[in-house]
Amino acid sequence: MGKNKLKKFAEMETFHNVFQCGIHDITEDNPIAALAGQWNEKVFHNTNPIVLELGCGRGEYTVGLARFYPDKNFIGVDIKGARMWAGAKEAELGGITNAAFLRTNIETIAHFFAPNEVNEIWITFPDPQMKKATKRLTSTYFMARYQQFMQPNGLIHLKTDSPFLYTYTAEMLRINGYTVLANSQDLYLSATAVLQPKAVLQRSGLEEATLLQTHYEQQWLSRGMTIKYLCWELAPRETFEEPTIEIEKDDYRSYGRNYVPKTDN
């Protein structure tokens, strides 16, 4: 492990807004797992709605939305500490008290929140996991976990560059009867043209979806790719059905993590 990563990990231990719990450390006595049901009281010290960003990476949405919406509390979740460090440090230095970070495996997410504790989830540019459905953050495997701690009809937002993940998720929503509030295959072209009643659009997340562009989103846009967006209500259900349709695999690869798109400036 590089010295830079070790330095970041050490620095994160000093941040007041970072909570870390490995998969083997989840016990009744673990103080991080014990935060379930108490995030507002012990971390944010208010009663505002809680919003998660899953697979938060550098935390651009966690920090950005926290700035735009001081009346909500945002928690970025990821296992990659070296990436999370950037957002956590920005929030710490900027005095953004409604942004926090939970470093853990997303598969264990239900251990850290109590029933009805979370209002919304943002899933921004996750790995489409084309080989295994249960690893996709929009799979029924994860829907079953999210509904354990989300409020009934809480919102889930997906932003993705992946045609595969978009198609899979849209089909998953259709066959399981979820209410879709927004559905765009080209967010920045059609965000204002989504045919939904006004009352639905007010909950659709379209405004928030276009407010921020992550580091990787800018990479996709620089390649002329379209951004897909879905927003749906997570109505609780007892049984789930996984899509069985054949979906064409994505035929492109990501840039390296350190790539910076060229500009005309």
d(CA 31, CA 243): 38
Strand segments, DSSP code E, in the chain are 18-20, 50-54, 73-78, 99-103, 118-124, 150-160, 180-184, 228-234
Structure tokens at 37: 């049901």
What is the Cα 91 distance to its own chain's centre? 17
The CA-based angle 41-45-47, given to 5 degrees, is 75
Active-site option among 25, 29, 71, 127: 127
Amino acid at 211: L
Question: Helix, strand or coil for residue 17?
Answer: coil
The residue among 170, 49, 33, 184 whose CA lies nearest residue 111 is: 33
Burial 120-140 (b: 16+ CB within 10 A, else e): bbbbbbbebbbeebebbbbbb
Which residues make beta-bridge pairs with 77?
A: 54, 102
d(CA 83, CA 60): 10
Return left, alpha or beta for 35; rule: phi > 0 is left, psi -120 to 50 is alpha, else beta. alpha
127 part of the active site: yes
Tell me the catalytic residues.
Answer: 127
